Chain A
Amino acid sequence: MKTFYWLLKREFWEHRGGFLWAPVITGGIYLLFFLIGLVWALGMARHGFSMDGNEMGDMFAQAAAGHSQHVGEVLDGFIAFSVMLVLIVCGFVVLFYCLGALYDDRRDRSVLFWKSLPLSNASTVLSKVVSAGVIAPVIALVVGLLTALVQLVILLIAMAIHGVNPWQVLMQTHLLRMTVTAVSLIPLSALWALPSIGWLLLCSAWARSKPFLWAILIPAIANVLVWWFSVVGLFSTHFAAGWSRVLARLLGSVFPNSFLYWGEPDLHFDAMTNGGRLADSSQLIGNAYHLLASPSLWIGVLGGTVLVAGAVWLRRVRDDS
């Protein structure tokens, strides 16, 4: 257990830039643009310009007029957006992290150093799975929520300056509940991401060069082949469509909470784009955890486990250093 903790720590040391600084920088840049937008919108409003889609200006007008419920909904939307933005960046980080995780140390031969220590290949690979599926998303979520918090404070200060009672508006947001929602989706997201993490790690452990190319190329070619066979009638188009979904899972589900956009038949998550309904977190969590009853999740978990096991095996037998 102690060894595993240090393996995770090792992953964090190596990938501090991707796991921590990439989300922080994303949040920082977002806040900067947000601030510029806010100042600009308020400046326009002050000079009496009214524009279509100037939501910020509208929101202040509404707040001033006492429609704090609508304002709360808009603020929830802002919170959801900043968290989502950071999580999307985290998805890219995890994608490239997985592709390099079992490849980079073979390329620079430092795998010989790691293999000189009493570490099993299984725990090494598992530490990378946990880093990709849990550690990186958790860090990104914390950074995303902090970004949202800073953004909220800026907005409330701006409102206070404009004579709106910030407390009244704050009461209409659902920061706490949204935090609970986001945190409670993490385990589900990790399960959902497993086939993708497994596939990328497998490519990473297998490739003698250019793991990225292999990871993309194999599904792409497989997709074209099946599509072609379905055109000539060997496979049904139904099968081809299902196959495309499988391949999309292989690459796409590294993105945290990507199941929300996957269009699983029994899940209705357009709520995510609507700040107001997202706030009804118990419903969202409940809906999301319906996924546990869907074969799509468990087939993915099973497939992911097989792929990870393959990566462990390749880690042991790949002998090119």
Chain B
Amino acid sequence: MNAVVRANGLTKAYKNALALNDVSFRIESGRIVGLIGPNGAGKTTALKAILGLTDFKGELNVLGLDPRSQRDKLMEQVCFIADVAVLPRWIRVREAIDFVANVHPRFNRAKCEAFLARTKLTPNQRVKQMSKGMIVQLHLALVMAIDARLLVLDEPTLGLDILYRKQFYQSLLEDYFDENKTIIVTTHQVEEIEHILTDLMFIRDGKIVLDTDMDTVGERFAEVMVSADKAAAARSMKPLDERQVFGKSIFLFDGADRATLESMGEVRRPTVSDLFVATMKGTYA
């Protein structure tokens, strides 16, 4: 497989903080990668570097191009939705479609219009007359009609209600994603994207602390519910995390022996949010 993004020793320092600290990773084609981290961990900086929106030290290769010097060319292959509501407020639906259709060589107008036909948006409507959810619908319609190889989503559903959020990811999966495309997404609503991710990347204090695919997550991490009498034994196995539910303890293990765990209690695959919380313990302390 060929890498869509290859980062090597990526470093970005702001005035008084290191947003990215010597980060290296690869993202392969045809994946949906969740880049997940606490506020201020460096997620947005990493995405900005990939999109050529910020300067950085180190090596970064996106679709064979350097985002710093070949940004104009790169943006023909890369799309992004950075946050909700960054569409200009004065623009009308019709104008937005006309403009993108005429400046983007890979835009498919029919596809965009077909998607918009399923919404309540009308051609003469201005962005400033729309709700947040409608703005995202328009933005998504524009982006999905672009045959890009890499789509970057930075908190694309922040502040939307659950109907819009579900619809957003469903549209992405059903109408957009295929094996030639790659999606990188950051969000705090981890539960909602958990089932669509193929890869998981945790970032903390400018470092990648976990970089794995979802299948490996299932093999590597396990959650065991243990009754009080076996808790001490479980604790001695150095769990990542421990929490109490209904008088029982739930332990989260990284790479522990399956058979041993199963002898102690019910074993299941941890959710990404539990894994996240365990990994990020003490971040804000």
A interface residues, Cβ below 8 angstroms from B:
2-3, 6-7, 9-10, 13-14, 105, 108-120, 317, 319, 321
Contact = CB atoms under 8 A, between A and B. Distances in A.
A81 to B, nearest CB: 33
B88 A115 contact: no
Nearest to B87: A113
Nearest to A16: B90
Contacts, number: 72
Closest 3 A/B residue pairs (Cβ): A110-B88, A118-B75, A112-B82
B86 A113 contact: yes
Interface in B66-105: 72-73, 75-76, 79-83, 85-92, 95, 98-100, 102-105
Contacts of B88: 14, 105, 108, 110, 113-114
The A interface is mostly helix, strand or loop, or mixed, namely helix
14 contacts: A3-B102, A3-B103, A13-B92, A110-B87, A110-B89, A112-B53, A115-B75, A116-B51, A116-B82, A117-B104, A118-B75, A119-B72, A119-B103, A120-B72
A117 B52 CA distance: 12
Given A118-B72, A118-B76, A319-B48, A14 B90 contact: yes
Contacts of B55: 317, 319
Interface of B: 48, 51, 53-55, 72-73, 75-76, 79-83, 85-92, 95, 98-100, 102-105, 139
Given A14-B90, A108-B89, A319-B54, A116 B103 contact: no
Nearest to B14: A319
Contacts of B102: 2-3, 6
A3 to B, nearest CB: 5
A115 B79 CA distance: 10
Output the residue of A3, A10, A14, A113 with the most chain B CB within 10 A.
Answer: A113
Nearest to A4: B103
Contacts of B139: 113
B83 A117 contact: no
B86 A109 contact: yes
Contacts of A14: 88, 90-91
Contacts of A3: 102-103
